[in-house]
């Protein structure tokens, strides 16, 4: 199981899992997910907010966050910043859209971060 899969495993009972395998968490669980990521040494790289109803999954185009690395900073600082931004983003999205909003996440670990930095500095 991947590190991200291990993180999500703790939330599956409260998650909305789509046939595609995509996992969505509601507000409170989403905020807890970010805390678990921080404790597990992972960073939230991206977040997408969606509405799920009988018609399916509809993304909110104004509830998308991307914290991809753009500058060289130590992993610990990057991780802390991403997860702090993610908490703020989730709080604001829940305030705007209500408690019925769902979120899916992309996460990044320290090894993947090193690879991103390598690409960033080499221009590839």
pLDDT digits (tens, 9 = 90+) for 110-122: 999 999 888 888 8
| Count of structural domains within the chain | 1
Q: Domain span at residue 63?
A: 3-122
- pLDDT tens for 71-80 read 889 999 999 9
CATH of the domain at 80: 3.30.190.30
Beta bridge partners of 47: 65, 105
Instruction: In whole angstroms, give the CA distance from residue 115 to residue 67.
Output: 15
Instruction: In whole angstroms, give the CA distance from residue 90 to residue 63.
Output: 9
pTM for the whole structure? 0.90
- pLDDT tens for 23-33 read 999 988 999 99
Is it the case that residue 89 has pLDDT exceeding 90?
yes
Stretch 65-75: mean pLDDT? 92
């Amino acid at each position: 199981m991947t590190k991200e899969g291990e993180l999500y495993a703790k939330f599956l009972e409260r998650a909305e899992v789509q046939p595609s395998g995509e996992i969505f968490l509601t507000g409170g669980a989403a905020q807890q997910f970010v805390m678990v990521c921080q404790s597990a040494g992972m960073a939230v790289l991206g977040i997408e907010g969606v509405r799920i109803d009988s018609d399916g999954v509809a993304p909110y185009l104004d509830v998308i966050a991307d914290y991809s690395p753009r500058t060289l900073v130590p992993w610990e600082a990057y991780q802390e910043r991403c997860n702090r931004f993610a908490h703020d983003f989730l709080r604001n999205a829940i305030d705007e859209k209500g408690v019925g909003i769902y979120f899916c996440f992309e996460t990044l670990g320290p090894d993947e971060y090193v690879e991103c930095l390598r690409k960033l500095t080499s221009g590839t």
